[in-house]
Structure formats: structure tokens, C-alpha cells
A and B are shown apart, each in its own frame.
Chain A
Amino acid sequence: NAGVTQTPKFRILKIGQSMTLQCTQDMNHNYMYWYRQDPGMGLKLIYYSVGAGITDKGEVPNGYNVSRSTTEDFPLRLELAAPSQTSVYFCASIPAGSTDTQYFGPGTRLTVL
């Protein structure tokens, strides 16, 4: 198993551009999450999904959109990039009924200039 994979690893965007951060897991996990990490602030939940076709907002959803058309993929879309979206983005997943922790991807470092 590759686990949770994220692409790209790094990206620089200009203000107003759009992009999609990709997240894929090959463990057949029902639950998937997007977090952003900012210095001194820990990680904050952007969106999450409890299964294909079902998504919900987390603590900081403004400026982002998600979709979950398959169990494996959970892309995060930035429509109009802003400097406030400069951050490191982590995707994570966990199977239903687990007492374990979430499995995290390696992260995407995004800079908006």
C-alpha cells in the first residue's frame, strides 16, 4: 500500500489563480480530511468526508471546495487564491470503526504571491 499520497509537493500560485490539491489513499478508508498548518497555529480542519458523495465543512472552509466522487480520491480546490491561503496542506484518512489515528499524507506546501 502506498498509503495517503498528495500531489504536488510544492506549488507557487499568483493571487487569483486556481488549483486543485490532489489526495489519494489506497486503503479503502471511508473517512478523509483536509487540514492546513500555519506557523504557531497547529493544524486546522478545512473539510472532511465520511464517504463517497458526502462532504462537510470543518473549522476553516472559506475559500476552498472539495468533492468525493470515489472512495480513493479527495481533491481540494482553491478557486481564487489569496495570500492568506499560503500554508502547508495535509490530507488524512481513517477507516470506519477505527481506534487508531488518522493516516497522514506528506503534505503540499503552497505559496500564494
Chain B
Amino acid sequence: AQSVTQLGSHVSVSEGALVLLRCNYSSSVPPYLFWYVQYPNQGLQLLLKYTSAATLVKGINGFEAEFKKSETSFHLTKPSAHMSDAAEYFCAVSGSNYKLTFGKGTLLTVNP
């Protein structure tokens, strides 16, 4: 069975600061991993995905994530936060029949 743990339900950064959102996973098979972003009252938008190719994955809006098998982690980073990055972020792992198991989410606040 798969599981995802997102450390920190709320992360607050200043505009221009590094964004680091943490995700650890558990999977019995080599995982496919995803990060999604959700803006208020909107649906889910895919930021990036890891599907067993390069371990450093680049996504949209300047975000990237690194798959570290030894640490079972897939942390999301962005070098410089922008006000428009304020949203909720979800990490997910894919299991049998492509079913997704999501973390509980991290709300990112960006302060001016």
C-alpha cells in the first residue's frame, strides 16, 4: 500500500525567499510521484511528476522536485517565492490501477 506524508500543514515565506515543501512517501513498488497545486476555490493543477526518468524534475512556474529513493522523499522547491505562489500544494503517489494516494496538503503563504 502507498502512503504520503507532507511535513507542515502550513508554510509561510517572504516574497523572494526559498520555498521548500516536504513530501515523504511509502510505496511497495517503484513509485510515480506528483505535485499538484490548488488555488482557492479551484481544481487541481499538475506542477510536476516523477515517472522513473531523471531524479530532478522541473515543473511549471519555476518549481522543481528531487526524487531521493534512499530518503523516500520528493520535496518541492522554488528558489524565489512570488506572491502568486500562495496556494495549497499536494503531493501524491500512484499505486495499482493508477490510483492516487494524496498527502494532506501544505498551505503556502507568501508575505510581501
* Residues of chain A at the chain B interface (Cβ within 8 Å): 31, 33, 35, 40-45, 48, 50, 56, 58, 90, 92, 94, 98-102, 104-107
Contact = CB atoms under 8 A, between A and B. Distances in A.
A41 B100 contact: no
B90 interface: yes
B6 to A, nearest CB: 8
Interface of B: 4, 9, 32, 34, 42-44, 46, 49, 51, 90, 92, 97-105
15 contacts: A31-B98, A40-B104, A41-B104, A42-B4, A43-B90, A43-B92, A43-B102, A45-B100, A99-B32, A100-B49, A101-B46, A102-B100, A104-B43, A105-B43, A107-B43
B34 to A, nearest CB: 5
Nearest to A49: B97
Contact of A42 (B46, B90, B98, B99): B90
A33 B99 contact: yes
Contact of A48 (B97, B101, B103): B97
B43 A99 contact: no
